[in-house]
Chains A and B, each alone.
Chain A
Amino acid sequence: MSTIVADLRPGVPSEPATSEPNYINVSYGVKSWLLTVDHKRIGILYLLSITVMFFFGGLFAVLIRLELLTPKGDLFQADTYNKLFTMHGIVMLFFFLIPSIPSVLGNFVLPLMIGARDLAFPKLNLASWYIYLVGAIFTLWAIVQGGVDTGWTFYTPYSSTYSNSYVLLAAVGILILGFSSILTGLNFVVTVHKMRAPGLTWFRLPLFIWSIYATSIIMLLGTPVITITLALVAVERVLHVGIFDPRLGGDPILFQHLFWFYSHPAVYIMILPSMGVVSEIVSVFARKDVFGYKVVAFASMAIAILGFLVWAHHMFVSGLSVYAALIFSLLSFLVAIPSAVKVFNWTATLYKGSISYQTPMLYAFGFIGLFTIGGLTGLFLATLAIDVHVTDTYFVVAHFHYIMVGGAIMGYLGGIHYWWPKMTGRLYPETWARIAAGIIFIGFNLTFFPQFVLGYLGMPRRSHEYPEEWQVLNVMSTAGASILGLGYVIPLVYLCWSLYWGKLAGPNPWGGTTLEWQTSSPPPPENFQVTPVVTERPYAYVEESALVH
C-alpha cells in the first residue's frame, strides 16, 4: 500500500501520483458525486448535509439561550419561542443525530471494516440520501413558512387539531426521513450478514460493527411506527377527524404510546453508534484489546432489545395506569445495566493500557464521563417518585443533553477525527483539535450542569419566562452555550483547512488493527486491492508493534 495523494482542488498541480486513484479523485464533477453509488462518497454527502442541518439546529439553540438570558420574555413572543424549541428538537434529532454516525461513519467505514467492496445495495444507499434530502426540504420549508410550535413530540390533540403552525409539512418531512432510516438500516443488516470477508466470523467483528448492527435493528423495527403515527396525525389534520382528539372520540395517550414506541428506541439509535466508536477509539489509543469483547457485543444487542420495552417512561404523568408505570419504571432500570456494563468494560480496557491522548481519545474520555452522568440521571428519571417532581423541568433537558451532546456528539466528533485520515488522506492539526475538544467539554458542562440544578429547583422546560431568582443559572447556561458554539465552529475551520494543507496521512496513522486501516488513505474506489482474509480477533495488540498481520 503506497501513500495516496488526496488533492481536492482541480487544476492545482498535484504531487506525482505514485499509484492508483482513490475514491475522491477517481472522477470529478458534480454529477459523479450526485449519482455515485460508492458508499464512501455517499458518506461524505451525508456528512455535508447533516453538518448544514446541525448548524440550523444550533442556530435555534442560540436563539433559545439568548431569550433565556433574561427572566422576562423580551426577545421573542411565546409562540415564536415555542417554534424555536420545536424546530431545534426536530432538526437536531431527526436530521442530525439519527443519521449522524450511521449515515456518515457507518456508510463510510462499515464495508471497509468488514472487508467488503461496498454495501449490499449501493443504489438503495444513494436513494436513502436523496430521501433524506427530500425530508429535509419539507422540514426546512416548514421552517421557512413559519415553523411548528407543538414541541418535537407533536403531542395531540394540539398538533392534530389546534395548532396553527405548519405541522403537516414537518410531519411529512419526518415521515419521509423515516424511509431513509429504514433503508439504511436494511442495507447495513444485509451487508453485515452477507458480505463479511473470509474468516470474519461474528465474534471477530469490530465492536463498531456490532453497535451499528444493533442500531440498524432498531431503525428497522422502530421507524415504521413513527411513520404510520405521523401519517395518522396528518390524516387527522387534513380531514378534521378524531383518531387522537378526545373531543371526537380519540385518545391522546394512544398517540403518546405510538410516538414513544419509536422515539425512545430512537435515542438508542443516537447513542449506540457513539458507543461503538468509543469502543474502537479506546482500544486503539490504549493499545489494548477491549475488555470483555463478547460482553460488550451482547450489551449492544441488549440495549437495542431492551430499548424497545421502556417507552412509557416518557409518559409517567400523562395519565398512564399506575400498574403500567411500575412495569415501565422497572424495565427502564434494566436497560441501564448493559450501558453500565459497557462503561465498566471501557474503563477496564484503559487499565494498564498504553494510553495516548490524541483528540479521538479525548472525545472518548469525554463521552465516558458525560454519558455516565447522563445515564445515571436517567435512572433518577426512571424512578417514579422523582420523575413526578422533575418531569417537564430542565432536569430532563439536562439529562438528555448530557446523553445526546455529551455522549452522542462527542462520540461523533471522536469518530470524525479518528477516521478523518482514512476519509481524506490528511491529518487534522492535533493542537487545534485538542483545544477545540477542551473548549467543547468546558462549554458543554457550563451549559448543561446548571440545568440539572434549575430543573431540580423547578424551572419548567419549554417556557420562555421564568422567575428572577433563576437568572444566574440561566446566564451561566447561556455563557456555556456560547463557548460550546465556539467549540463546534473551530473543528469546522481546521477540518476544512486540513483538506488542503493538512499533513498527509498514511494508511494507518493510529496503528489500528481493524481492516479499514489495511488499505490506503483515502481508499481506492473498490476499497481493497485484494480481498482481505481475517485470521484473528479484531483487537490483537502486541506491546511493541502496531500492526498485527
Chain B
Amino acid sequence: MLGMWTFLATEILFFGGLFAAYTVYRSEYFAAFVAGSEHLDVTLGTINTLVLIASSLTMALAVHAAQMGKKSLAAFLAATIVLGAVFLGIKAVEWHHDYVEGMVPGIAWEPERWQAEGIAPREVQIFFLLYFCMTGLHALHMIVGFGVLGFMFFGARRGWFTPSYYNPVEIAGLYWHFVDIVWIFLFPLLYLIRH
C-alpha cells in the first residue's frame, strides 16, 4: 500500500512537469489558449468526466465488495474497465475529429484557420501540443490501468481475494482513482479556458 502511495507521489511529479509547462504557456499565450480551448467539445468532455467518475465509483464498490467477500467484485471490476473503455472511445472520437479538422500539431495541422481568427498559429499550436501530450499520457495510464484491472478481474474470477486478503484490489483502486483525479484537473484546465 505504501508502495502504491509512493508511486502515486512520483506520478504527481510526472504529470506535474506537463502542468508546469501548461501554466507557463497559458500565462504567456492566454488568448491563444482560450481560442484553442473553445474548439474542444465541452459536451463530450463533460460526458467523459462523468464516465470516469462513474468508473471510480464502480472501483470503490469493487474494493468494498472485496472487503465484504461479495461475489459482485468481478462484476464491479468489469464495469470499471467497461466505463474506462467508453472514456477512451469518446476520446478517440474527439481526437479523430481534431485530426480531420487539422488541429493536431506535427501530424495534421492547419494554421490558416487560426490566422483567420486573428490568433497566432504557433501559440495555439503549443496549446494543442500540450492538450495531446497531457490527454495522451493520461490515456496511456488508463491503458496500463486496464491491464492491472484485467489482472484483478482474472484473479477475482478465480477466487484469489477474500475479506482478509484483498490488498491488490485496493492497490489497483488507488491507481485507478489517481487516473481519475488527473482527469479531474485536466478537464477544466483544457476544456474550460474562457476569457
Q: Which residues of A contact B (CB under 8 A)?
A: 120-121, 182, 186, 189-190, 193-194, 220-225, 227-229, 232, 235, 238-243, 248-251, 254, 257-258, 261
CB distance from A346 to the nearest CB of B (A): 31
Which of B13-21, B163-171, B174-182 lies at the interface with chain A? B13-21
In this complex, how many residues of chain B approach chain A with their Cβ under 8 Å: the count is: 31
Whether B122 lies near A249 (C-beta < 8 A) is yes
Q: A241-B106, A249-B122 are in contact. Are A232 and B11 (CB under 8 A)?
A: no
Whether A224 lies near B10 (C-beta < 8 A) is yes
CB distance from A250 to the nearest CB of B (A): 7
CB distance from B87 to the nearest CB of A (A): 22
Q: Which of A120, A189, A241 contacts B105 (CB 8 A)?
A: A241
- B116 part of interface (Cβ distance < 8 Å): no
Q: Which residues of B contact A227 (CB under 8 A)?
A: 14
Hey, what's the 0/1 contact readout for B110-135 against A, CB within 8 Å counting as 1? 00000000001011011001100100
Q: Which residues of A contact B126 (CB under 8 A)?
A: 242-243, 249-250
Whether B6 lies near A242 (C-beta < 8 A) is no
A76 to B16, CA, bound (A): 41
13 further A-B contacts with Cβ under 8 Å, apart from A232-B133, A235-B106, A243-B21, are: A120-B3, A182-B10, A194-B2, A220-B6, A221-B13, A224-B10, A224-B13, A225-B14, A229-B17, A239-B105, A249-B29, A251-B28, A254-B25
A336 to B94, CA, bound (A): 51
A261 to B13, CA, bound (A): 11
Q: A220-B10, A221-B9, A225-B13 are in contact. Are A239 and B2 (CB under 8 A)?
A: no
Q: Which residues of A contact B20 (CB under 8 A)?
A: 257-258
Whether B9 lies near A228 (C-beta < 8 A) is no
Q: Is the interface of A mostly helix, strand, loop or mixed?
A: helix
Q: Which residues of A contact B18 (CB under 8 A)?
A: 228, 232
A225 to B16, CA, bound (A): 8
Q: Is the interface of B mostly helix, strand, loop or mixed?
A: helix
CB distance from A465 to the nearest CB of B (A): 37
Q: A243-B129, A249-B122 are in contact. Are A225 and B9 (CB under 8 A)?
A: no
A254 to B129, CA, bound (A): 15
Number of A-B contacts (CB under 8 A): 83
Whether B6 lies near A190 (C-beta < 8 A) is yes
Q: Which residues of A contact B3 (CB under 8 A)?
A: 120-121, 186, 190
A476 to B5, CA, bound (A): 52
A442 to B186, CA, bound (A): 56
Whether A224 lies near B11 (C-beta < 8 A) is yes
A404 to B106, CA, bound (A): 40
Whether A249 lies near B6 (C-beta < 8 A) is no
Q: Which residues of B contact A (CB under 8 A)?
A: 2-3, 6-7, 9-11, 13-18, 20-21, 24-25, 28-29, 105-107, 120, 122-123, 125-126, 129-130, 133, 137
A249 to B107, CA, bound (A): 17
Q: Which residues of A contact B6 (CB under 8 A)?
A: 186, 189-190, 220
Q: Which residues of A contact B28 (CB under 8 A)?
A: 251
**Nearest 9 CB-CB pairings of A with B:** A239-B106, A249-B122, A224-B14, A228-B17, A224-B13, A241-B106, A241-B105, A225-B17, A190-B3
Whether B7 lies near A186 (C-beta < 8 A) is yes
A463 to B107, CA, bound (A): 38
Q: A120-B3, A220-B6, A254-B21 are in contact. Are A248 and B125 (CB under 8 A)?
A: yes
A258 to B21, CA, bound (A): 8
Q: Which residues of B contact A120 (CB under 8 A)?
A: 3
Query: What are some 28 contacts across the A-B interface (CB < 8 A)?
Result: A120-B3, A186-B6, A186-B7, A186-B10, A190-B3, A190-B6, A223-B10, A224-B10, A224-B13, A224-B16, A228-B14, A228-B137, A232-B18, A235-B106, A235-B129, A235-B133, A239-B105, A243-B130, A248-B122, A249-B29, A249-B123, A251-B25, A251-B28, A254-B21, A254-B24, A254-B25, A258-B17, A258-B20
Q: Which residues of A contact B9 (CB under 8 A)?
A: 220-221
CB distance from A403 to the nearest CB of B (A): 25
A528 to B108, CA, bound (A): 62
Whether B129 lies near A241 (C-beta < 8 A) is yes
A258: nearest chain-B partner, CB-CB: B17
B121: nearest chain-A partner, CB-CB: A249
